[in-house]
Chain A
């Protein structure tokens, strides 16, 4: 029994019950529908900004990019201007590929010791593929949800929704993103459980967001395809939130509030968790810096003078030996007292 994963699972189930039951209590709809979401949003925004400011407050004293390609040196050697960028443009491309396509993760391989003595590094793109699938579909789902918060719905949102449902299966038509999202999440979860190394390093704070987002996707899918939530009522309610004139629409159903509560928890949890990698990746000095170290001096704001061993002190200690060895010295040897005649070999 893995305690980290149990804690997280129990936490998400409790959250489910809290919202499911809570919303039935008097004032529950206002609490879970209006107060909690607004509060969560405020926590998210302030927390996120606060974290970014906190990171930004610490300087970057040294320019330490991890170089993953040829440096710019001699004119006839072709530099790798993306993986070892010397210009801001190069860094932007490097960061873009990193953030949008998880380029470093794409390098991933799987090590195995074969035939007793042969190390091999095998093709392993599943982590990359499912991570990318998870992030992209999550983004698409999020983007699609703009239709609940805008009137008229922007054409791009409509387009994305349409593309997302291009298979045209079922009614309402199946949105691929939701299914892929859930599948990717389940893969990422199973990975943590079944790969011993992953189980070893996984914390409750790794499982919790997974379960939470699984919960979000699950309740979303439940509402769309199974309980067939009153979409007009939902839109009326979400628009009231978006326009800051919140009022409750009757008869939306508990599952909707659970969905909304999960999203709220995710938002509020976000700034205090590893999910901040969303902001952090932009600030990672090994990726967002230009490798122009030797041609443009980087300034360390707290660079302070240090105690060094000067040449003078060095020569003072070794002058005699240096002279004897025929090494040039700055200060000549003091004349030797007569009672110490120079020894000859």
Chain B
């Protein structure tokens, strides 16, 4: 963070006026603070990806395979044949510009190539040149004519531009909400990164989690014993807060439900508080209703960085969820708070790794509610599950324990725009908190802004980029902070919880970040608990400020 200017200077620098020259005449300049480190060779070796080597994006030579153009061309063609989305999206954009100022990276940086339309044009320019009749005919009239048509040849310069800007998109789909044809830049970026992957152009912040997840079951490379250690540690923490010793199950055969959540929540604050929240909730449900929910160290990752690499890698990592559910013989799967995890689970999992006919159609054994909307995938979102419990009065809640918090809610991109999970988390929050305030309508629900660090961009070396990307979201938080005194930004995404603390510290240090289930656990009255004087963060509850002294 030390290399960043202060926020005022940062804002003063943002200029939304692109150069009068066209984008093809503006050469790419790969900048420190924006670009991410290249993937280390061992990451790629673990999962058998092409062209593992040491390289750096700042070097002249990227150590590409000799026939890299041919590989890309072939890869492009294959994917045009496999994905109608790509084909249609390559052809039908009219460049109306509606998407331009919808991207958090464009808003926060002013870099015109971060306008979603240009990000797509980077690929379209090659598509026009290589795959369209018009491009081939106009090409005969020379480069200038070709360029005015938006076509160009694939060169190293173009490749570097691809790489630079495809790793400045968080696949949040906000632009696609505004596009009159529904052109989805996430789809373009997924496709583009998949092509780059073919010649070994990955970033380490994506490739390392992929390699870890493949081997150890989670992105952070936490081995089974360490994973259990961490959960045990939370058990102690919970005991300090609530005076209750929870006993989480691990890989319990024939448990009712398998629970899968991002490993980020086991690893770092404030996700850890959300993780403790899950544990307390599950304890409550077991004590009160005899419901057995098990964790797994093999399927210890809800997220899927394979999604940021290639469709194939996404499938390879995702396979563990069903495999583990089958091995353990559970009835169905419950998924924790995570953004892109839920895009994968909701829109890809059943297609890729289903049908999950060995599982039962999800029913809440406590309320009898059938989760009809998950009857094929057999995976229920925890806020769907908990909203149902609350609706039926099955949780004992004391929302005043969150009275020290004025909460707003950030819709994570993927559950919002790749699923439509909007009301469930709000219902939960409103039942466990007394002070809830919405951010302005243009910045929530389907129009929500990304945290700025999704799709594998949550690295340390690209901090300037991340702060650019976080600006629109946190500017809206700032609005409710100033208007209502909001001091807690809640969310249902582990990437958010990894990204926001840093971004808040920079843009809005007065506000903190939490997961929804941290709030739930604060309010949840556990059977036989001691008098609660502190919240999960060990901060005194309202009216209990003096109790600490005891």
Closest Cβ–Cβ distance, residue A36 to chain B (whole Å): 18
Q: Is the CB of B228 within 8 A of A294?
A: no
User: Which parts of A301-316 form the interface with B (CB within 8 Å)?
Assistant: 302-303, 306-311, 314-315
User: Which parts of B185-244 form the interface with A (CB within 8 Å)?
Assistant: 187, 214-217, 223-225, 228-229
B538 at the interface (CB under 8 A from A): no
Query: Which of A74, A303, A322 counts the most B-chain CB atoms under 10 A from its CB?
Result: A74
Q: Is the CB of A127 within 8 A of B96?
A: yes
Q: How far is the CA of A50 from the CA of B479 in the complex (A)?
A: 52
Q: Is the CB of B87 within 8 A of A55?
A: yes
CB-CB nearest in chain B for A51: B91
Chain A 109-129: CB-based contact to B (< 8 A → 1; otherwise 0): 111010011110100000100
CB-CB nearest in chain B for A67: B420
Q: Is the CB of B420 within 8 A of A291?
A: yes
Among B344-352, B460-468, B524-532, the stretch in contact with A: B344-352
Chain B residues with CB below 8 A from A328, complex form? 250-253
Among A14-22, A56-64, A147-155, A172-180, the stretch in contact with B: A56-64
- Interface SS majority for chain B: helix
CB-CB nearest in chain A for B217: A314
Chain A residues with CB below 8 A from B177, complex form? 66, 68, 104, 107
Q: Is the CB of B101 within 8 A of A197?
A: yes
Q: How far is the CA of A155 from the CA of B148 in the complex (A)?
A: 45
Q: Pick from B176, B216, B250, B372: contact of A66, CB below 8 A.
A: B176
Q: Pick from B84, B178, B369: contact of A107, CB below 8 A.
A: B178
CB-CB nearest in chain A for B350: A297
A98 at the interface (CB under 8 A from B): yes
Chain B residues with CB below 8 A from A59, complex form? 82-84
CB-CB nearest in chain A for B423: A77
Q: How far is the CA of A218 from the CA of B145 in the complex (A)?
A: 27
Q: How far is the CA of A293 from the CA of B447 in the complex (A)?
A: 21
Q: Pick from A71, A98, A321: contact of B225, CB below 8 A.
A: A321
Q: Pick from B89, B134, B150, B419: contact of A272, CB below 8 A.
A: B134
Q: Is the CB of B354 within 8 A of A74?
A: no
With contact pairs A62-B347, A203-B148, A327-B297 given, residues A74 and B387 touching in the complex (Cβ less than 8 Å): yes
Chain A residues with CB below 8 A from B365, complex form? none
CB-CB nearest in chain B for A317: B215
B492 at the interface (CB under 8 A from A): no
Chain B residues with CB below 8 A from A102, complex form? 180
Among B271-279, B284-292, B311-319, B451-459, the stretch in contact with A: B311-319
B88 at the interface (CB under 8 A from A): yes
Chain B 300-318: CB-based contact to A (< 8 A → 1; otherwise 0): 0000000000011001100
B14 at the interface (CB under 8 A from A): yes
Q: Is the CB of A324 within 8 A of B446?
A: no
User: Which parts of B5-26 form the interface with A (CB within 8 Å)?
Assistant: 7-8, 11-12, 14, 16-20, 22-23
Q: Is the CB of A105 within 8 A of B182?
A: no
23 contacts between A and B (CB under 8 A): A3-B144, A60-B85, A62-B348, A66-B182, A68-B420, A73-B384, A74-B387, A77-B427, A80-B420, A98-B180, A104-B178, A200-B115, A201-B95, A280-B88, A283-B84, A286-B187, A294-B377, A295-B372, A295-B376, A297-B351, A300-B351, A309-B215, A314-B216
Beyond the given pairs A197-B16, A286-B183, A294-B346, 17 more chain A to chain B contacts, judged by CB atoms under 8 angstroms and listed by A's residue number, are: A7-B148, A61-B83, A64-B418, A74-B424, A105-B98, A111-B102, A127-B96, A195-B97, A197-B112, A198-B95, A201-B97, A274-B93, A277-B93, A286-B187, A287-B181, A295-B372, A311-B324
Using a CB–CB cutoff of 8 Å, the interface residues on chain A facing chain B are: 3-4, 7, 51, 54-64, 66-74, 76-80, 83-84, 98, 102, 104-105, 107-111, 113, 116-119, 121, 127, 131, 191, 195-206, 272-274, 276-277, 280-281, 283-287, 291, 293-300, 302-303, 306-311, 314-315, 317-318, 321-322, 324-328, 330
